[in-house]
Structure 1
């Protein structure tokens, strides 16, 4: 097998190497997947840099999600030819992955491998944002920043399916029509001080993956008693919470890391959520598919301001 590995933390282009490795014999209840696609996520880069929430033992292979086809199995739940996604970090930036069957979700037939490879993180994050902090009543409103992100697009589609309305803050005016076509009810520029939601349109939930002033704008838009959930920090700035928003609006400030939910959720809940997401019709834009051996291209593409969608590593 081939795998991208790093033996020390540092800049990805400097520390990553494509290495040849031997696949060990399968243990009981393990599955060997031939990888079909694996996204390059910002969290993967943070892991390589040593700045993520956890540090893996070294040497390590990045890749927090991906889709593969079973080539060998000692589990009664998987047979050669089945396709599955990885639910726990197992180093998906590789030609093959061997993993315990309990860490996989078997996919329904006919799902595009590139779309399936992106199911674990962003769609599940969107689902938990919408349903994991008290299910809003139908026709309620939610608000989010970075609405053109992969999570943001999933929120728009899933909210519509749940009977909820969305206010979506973006940085570029040319994104308005694109998000409206997805089903967004309101799209506005993030720094537009005129954006307001009153009365029955005051959001009960706010989803923040930016931080700083953008996060504060979400708090100001929330209805009294609303819940503000942070799941990212793109601006690398902390939350500044005025005392009055806590005292007079009684806002709830929460956080979400989808990895922790996956670790704590029951197998029944995992099957239910990912089964729903796999058949929800979600379609996330893909910028390019890059062969594993050409990984520097994938890393450079991730940082490109012209990128329009996810970058995925493929065989």
Structure 2
């Protein structure tokens, strides 16, 4: 059985530039058109797009990045961002999207980052890599095990879970891979560091816990811009590929916080504290030590810790928080 589910803000995802009348006839209509792109930048665009929609997308593509992001931020957050003196978390993330650290390129690439992670916390924390072919051929497909995960390295939500290879086909996965490889992830929310990543498809072992379930995503927002141990908030996305997906935010002591990130529904009661929470936190602290902020994605099945990805611009700077004050609170933590 294959499973593909796009997530809302992937755990959470998709600045104020002067508006130019020649670039947009109407502020409201332009904002609405920008907002019609996936507000979750990790959701793939539709595979067949009507002509009118394609024409609108083409018109948006000529907007300068700052103007495009300013309109998108207004559509998703409800206010225009201040890019000159950013105060909120989203505004500061937008700045990163427009002026990314050169290190972001290789560390955002889901294949190249593996070397960095192995050097930091050890190869045993990498999900075993089955294949990373230059071209996905039938021979590659035939050599895959019965269960695996197909991913692409150059964006988010490029994920196809295959529990039983006999229930899918090479043609189906080849089409999916071609769609991914044809997607310029920069176009979705103008995160400039994605432009330099060469798209590739790769295959990992399907990670399951002892119950045969896909473990929850642990997305650790690590603020490391001040002396001392980083400030960390943990977003737990449970049942990501199922029918009861929830997103819950905890502090490092596993207090269930009254915060919602993106459009995930918060659970009525806190989930069980991971038995290896200290190991999870220690791995995140090590992986974030070179940055003032990074989101470290981990999995913690059966007392083990596996690396998922590093994300430097989560939500592409248009990430809704509930309550909205969290956007300002987190902005104070990001120097």
**Normalising to structure 2: TM-score of the pair?**
0.28
**Greater strand content:** 1
Q: Taking CA–CA contacts closer than 8 Å with sequence separation of 6 or more, which of the two structures ends up with the larger relative contact order?
A: 2
